[in-house]
A = this chain, B = another copy of it.
């Protein structure tokens, strides 16, 4: 099967099939992969989704729920299902996915669901519900393959095959001692290729990376990416093996974190759902706009102090908006590069210093280049070379300030433990607006009046 793009035709086909009986509907649905049905779900009404999940085999239903984004609220479908179907589906779900979905429900709904299902599963899910969703513990899956370090090849291989019965796919085999303390990893290839008298102890690799359950998911993603891992074991404070995180879980984390980064740098609350409604959007954005308004009043108060200058040289108010705006753009460029660098790796003091120095230089050069253009316009269009000089100096000065603040504010915020993407853009806009208004007005008041 090659992937194809879903479009409105697909939605219409399913909507048509929903008019008919289950057999016809099932036939149409059978042409789609579970992850495609999950995407099409976004455009179907709640009753249709419930009917489809109730109708399809639990194996496919569980895959669809797995593939639905958090924003499509798979938990609402889960809670609405007939109890028997629901239990079947939960048995099919990976523990980490089941936990993520169930964690979105009210506590009494969680208990209702967990009482219905197999007690072993319920215990595992309850244990996972205790971890913060955005940590290694919240991300991990407790379905792992582990063998005892004292086993021989035959015993270990039998154990691996037994444990893999219920798993879709597996990567690394973990080796533990009698106390379930992690001892290392074992490659399936090595054990298949080994002679029959070899012991797990002889094959175990102790050079591996692990994480503690309370590590932030962003750090987990960084480790997996840095060490090119396909999975990483999760342990508790006593090094007991709790579960593993696989690279495909990390892809979702990366998408999530990247969405958060882009939203935060643009002054949108990181919790805003991309497909949320207007009420959520107002709630997420209005606070930022009001903070921005307060800082804008601050910048505007500078203009008020130069009322006389504005009155006698009205054209300066057109030019100052240009200089402030160019400062904002320059600062945003420096900010984006710096924030992205910080989020990919920590910078040493020396690297941080060099970054700020570089942005000083870039600001100065770009400021002078744009300053010459503004000078030229003032010289020819306004026939006012002194105004041109004022504007050249103001542009250069503001773009230097913009470059330096754009690079240093996120670095400072990072050092004091504040997420650089959140607060940076408001702080730097305020800076570049204030300086962008002040410099041309002040220089004009000194040199032109």
Task: Enumerate chain A interface residues (CB-CB to B < 8 A).
Answer: 1-3, 5-8, 11, 33, 35, 39, 43, 66-67, 161, 164, 169-171, 187-189, 192-193, 207-211, 223-230, 247-248, 250-252, 254-255, 258-259, 261-263, 265-268, 272, 274-275, 277-278, 281-282, 285-286, 288-290, 292-293, 296-297, 299-301, 303-304, 307, 310-311, 314-315, 317-322, 324-326, 328-330, 332-333, 335-337, 339-341, 344-346, 348-351, 358-359, 361-362, 365-366, 369-370, 373-374, 377, 429, 433, 437
Chain B residue contacts of A272, Cβ below 8 A: 337
A337 to B169, CA, bound (A): 35
Chain B residue contacts of A227, Cβ below 8 A: 3, 33, 35
Partner of A230, one of B3, B223, B230, B258: B230
Chain B residue contacts of A263, Cβ below 8 A: 336-337, 340
A272 to B341, CA, bound (A): 12
In the complex, are the beta carbons of B315 and A307 less than 8 A apart? yes
Chain B residue contacts of A250, Cβ below 8 A: 251
In the assembled complex, how far is the CB of residue A183 from the closest CB belonging to chain B, in whole angstroms? 13
> What is the predominant secondary structure among interface residues of chain A facing chain B?
helix
A264 to B304, CA, bound (A): 35
In the complex, are the beta carbons of B254 and A251 less than 8 A apart? yes
Copies in the assembly, this chain: 2
In the complex, are the beta carbons of A348 and B11 less than 8 A apart? yes
Partner of A35, one of B211, B226, B252, B362: B226
Chain B residue contacts of A300, Cβ below 8 A: 318-319, 321-322
In the complex, are the beta carbons of A266 and B437 less than 8 A apart? no
Chain B residue contacts of A268, Cβ below 8 A: 333, 336-337
In the complex, are the beta carbons of A266 and B1 less than 8 A apart? no
In the assembled complex, how far is the CB of residue A25 from the closest CB belonging to chain B, in whole angstroms? 21
Chain B residue contacts of A226, Cβ below 8 A: 3, 35, 39, 67
Most chain B CB inside 10 Å of its own CB: which residue of A6, A227, A325 = A325
New A-B contacts (5) at CB < 8 Å, excluding given A230-B247, A263-B340, A307-B315 = A262-B262, A262-B340, A282-B366, A286-B365, A300-B319
